[in-house]
Structures are given as structure tokens and as C-alpha cells.
Amino acid sequence: MGLFGDCIGKRRTFATAIERQKAVRRLDVPKAQKQIKHQLFKKSIMIELYLTQNNNSKNEAYGKHYPRVSYKQTLNIHDMAVHMAEHNTPFSEGTIEGILRDFVKCTREQTLMGNTVKVDNLAIFKVSVVGNGCTELYDTATDKTITASIGTLAKNDKTGPAVQSLKLLAQATGEYTREELNKDGKLGWTDKAAAEIAAAKAAANSGSQSSPQSGSQNGSQSGSQNQPTTYALSISISGSGSASVTKDGNAMTSGASLSEDDEVAISITPAEGLVPTATINGSSIELTENSGVYTGNFAMPGQASSLVINTGSTSGNDDGDDGLDKD
């Protein structure tokens, strides 16, 4: 029957047709609410973009406009089941939701067994490890060996648990690779962005028709009135590794001026065996490791903010992943 057959047999949530029908009744939503969900699903088949402008006068990208995706909503498993049931399928919402939830459970089970799970035309999933970086396989002083277990090393320990933590990795495959997304993706502006573009065009046409003197005066007044509010970002970097902070691919220095929601990227290369950390106004920033380089990003808060980066703490680790399977 296969791995997934055995897995689903053990973990099936909706075992009988009666249970499935009960699930449909439990998951049913009022007609008006379902119509709203349907309208949201059908509203647009394109990715809508809005614009941000670099307002850091010290940056090479100063004044340039960059697109960002305006995400409409987050769909959970139930929402996807409702959506899928509308695509001329003989299966009910409850049946679809049960299968999806079973699939999630089985994917977790299989990856924890050391298997990779390839969902065709979506992604390849696997569990990898973050290693502690033991200096010895066997420590004669403590009579301890490196162990295939999860834990942390004390400051002076030479060996012990090999793994600090497990983590899930995913790689796009098939129709979700960049090349395929570029073929099928359709882009458009949000209403706000379209209005901003139209206003800029109208202002430019109006300025070209007025006298040079009045145009200069109006442009100066308009520029001062429409100047967006910016906030200073203090950047503090410590530790024995290296780090860079960028916006739209351009390096930033402490004291840079940013607008609210400007996206800031972080790249950290710690010293061997060390783990970097980053916080914005005291809140941790999630970092992702790839080939020894840790990256993360955050949106600029609507206030003067402090970014603190430590390029290496004492709880050294090393990502033991050997890379995702290639499709």
C-alpha cells in the first residue's frame, strides 16, 4: 500500500462516509458568509503591487520607486477546502478538508522519518538540522562521546548532543519555480498606486504648461507639502563576524531615514560555530541560514527605531543541511 497508504490508514480523520457528512455540517457556514468568501476568491487573479520610495538621501537609490506585493488575505486549510469545492468537484468541503489535514499530518510524519516529500508542482519538503559544533568526538576528561540527540552544549563542553534543533526546509518545484511563475504571473497596481501614478502624470503635464517660474515655485511648495514622514534607524553591530543592512539592495548606515513599512534586509556571516541574533526595538527578527550566511528582513516601524545585530553568540551551531533535492 505504500508509506502514505499506511500513514493515512493510521491517521485518517474522516474514516467513514457518515463522519464526512457530519464534518460537512459542522464546517458549514452561513450562505452570506460563503458568498463573501466566493467574492474574495474571485475578486482578482492578479498580483497587485504598491510602491515605496527610497527617502534616504545618503543612499544611491535615493528617490527611486520600488514595487511591493499587496497581499489580500491568508487562506487556511478550511478556506482552501471551500475554494476547491467550488471547482466542479464531486467532493464536499468536509471531505477535501479531511484529506488536506491528513496530508499535512502524513507529510510531518514522513519528514520526521528522514524522507523527503515532493508535492509535484509545489515544493519539496524535508527536515534538516542545526548542529552544535562539537570540538571532540570523544572527551577523555568527561568520558563523553558526541551523541545523535537534540540539546545544547555548556560553555566549556567539548562534546555532547550533536544537534541543536530541527528545521523544515522547502524548495519550489515544477510550476512554482521562478521561471514558471514568471511565465504565468499577471501583475497590476492597487487602486492607491494607480491613483499615485495618475496624479504624477497629471502634475507633470500641468507643470509643463505653466511658466518656468511658477512651475518652479509650485514644484518647490508641492515637494515640501508632500514630503513623506521618515524615521531614523539606529544600527548597532557587534561580535566577531560581519553583517550588512540594505534596502532595495543598497547598503545602509546608522541614522538612515526610512518611511514606515520600508523593507529592510539583513545579512550576517558569523564566525565559525557561532549563532547570530538580530532585534528591532527589542523584538527578535527571524533569521534563515543558508551556506553559513544568515538572512532576515523586517518592515520599518512608524517611529525612530533601533536595530541591534550580534554576529555571534556563545551557543555556536552549524547547519548540517547538504542542500535540498533538485527537481
Beta-strand ranges (E) seen in the chain are: 47-53, 65-69, 117-119, 123-131, 138-139, 144-145, 147-150, 161-172, 187-189, 231-238, 242-247, 250-251, 256-258, 263-269, 275-280, 283-284, 288-290, 293-299, 305-313, 318-319
Per-residue pLDDT reduced to its tens digit, 183-192: 988 999 999 9
Per-residue pLDDT reduced to its tens digit, 212-237: 454 444 444 444 445 568 888 989 89
User: For position 208, what pLDDT does the model report?
Assistant: 62
Among 36-40, 87-91, 100-104, 179-183, top mean pLDDT goes to 100-104
What is the domain partition of the chain in residue ranges? 3-43+71-115, 123-179, 231-319
Per-residue pLDDT reduced to its tens digit, 202-214: 888 886 665 445 4
